[in-house]
Amino acid sequence: MTGHLGHQPLRGIRVIEIDGIGPVPFACRLMHGLGADVLRITRPDSGAFGEVGRALTIGRPAHTVDLKTDAGRREVLDLLRGADVLVEGLRPGAMERLGLGPREVLRRHPKVVYARMTGWGQDGPLAQRAGHDITYAALAGALHLAGSPEQPAPPANLLADFGGGSMFLVVGILAALLERGRTGVGQVVDAAMVDGAAALTTMLHGLLAQGLWSDRRGTNLLDGGAPFYSTYRCADGGFIAVGALEPHFYRALVDGLGLGQRFAAERVSQDDLSSWPRMRAALAEVFATRSRDEWAAHFADTDGCVAPVLSLGEAAEHPHLQARGVFGTEGGASLPRVAPLFSGPDSVDLPRPSTGSS
């Protein structure tokens, strides 16, 4: 079954987006890319987002409304007539002070899904405190997982803003729309970046409870502690990523590096943590003998789980991502397209529902 880029499963869904920064515009970009009709409400005093936000707002029409006036409030309420979703990312209480809180909106438009995106949530001791991705990820325990053993490092703003924020916001909106299809009534979605960032660590909390994860960063299977799940510098200064977790993938890695006999003689084993320092030193030594792209080509037809660490520009040019249409040109920039792909209802690969009696 081949996915295609043209199918839009959210076609017919109308979204009113109260313009903001961070996870709200990215979530609305995703819904727009999946076919939703999204109208951005911009405020006269909001200012331009510049290069930071432009990629997240391309393609969605904008309409300026002064939300601080009665006329502006009435205009938004009128725009919500026939809408399915309202998305806002202001601090808790801000929409209520504007006369556009859930009580006012849902009283007039009970079928609307009112989606709220904040850092800390609508309530709790920190609800009114400012923050950014690094702040929410830190408190959620997610930031502790990234970086070197000596110091945590933020993975840009991907963890709480977009992973814990936008993605959970979209999941909440879609779930509420599905429930509305059964009940005919909308509801409030309270999405918080700190909640989502914490939820992303669920598997690791489970491993911690089983005694299979240490709170010492850089000592675990998935945080760079394992030499077969790490990155290595190559001869040209580039890096290669290794993710050979399963035994057969590990064997493909070791054989591809020509280290099989050496590891057997030195009793270096994947399961023997005491041999990991020697394993890491050997992997680093061998990877340093060739360039990043030479190693990528060497492992291209194997299951050694080896990949080049690409820059943003290089990723857009990679043949696999080009073949899947992952990137496209929007507003003169190369940007990732909305994921995932869909087969569409006309796919010949899908079974047709029966129309007759059995």
Kindly report the number of other CB atoms within 10 A of residue 319's CB atom. 7
Active-site hit among 19, 84, 161, 195: 161
Distance, in Å, from the CA atom of 146 to the CA atom of 257, rounded to the nearest integer, reads 27
Q: Please report the DSSP string for 6-42 in residue order.
A: S--TTTT-EEEEE--STHHHHHHHHHHHTT-EEEEEE
Helix (DSSP H) and strand (DSSP E) numbers for the chain = 15, 11
Environment class of 155 (CB within 10 Å of its CB; exposed 0-12, middle 13-18, buried 19+): middle
Tell me whether residue 132 is one of the annotated catalytic residues.
Answer: yes
Among candidate residues 109, 132, 144, 298, the one labeled active-site is 132
Please check whether residue 248 is in contact with residue 303, taking contact to mean a CB–CB distance below 8 angstroms.
Answer: yes
Sign of the four-CA dihedral 57, 84, 189, 79: positive
Helix axes 23-33, 50-57, angle to 10 degrees: 30
HSE, CB side, 13 Å, CA atoms: give it for residue 155: 17
Catalytic residue IDs: 132, 161
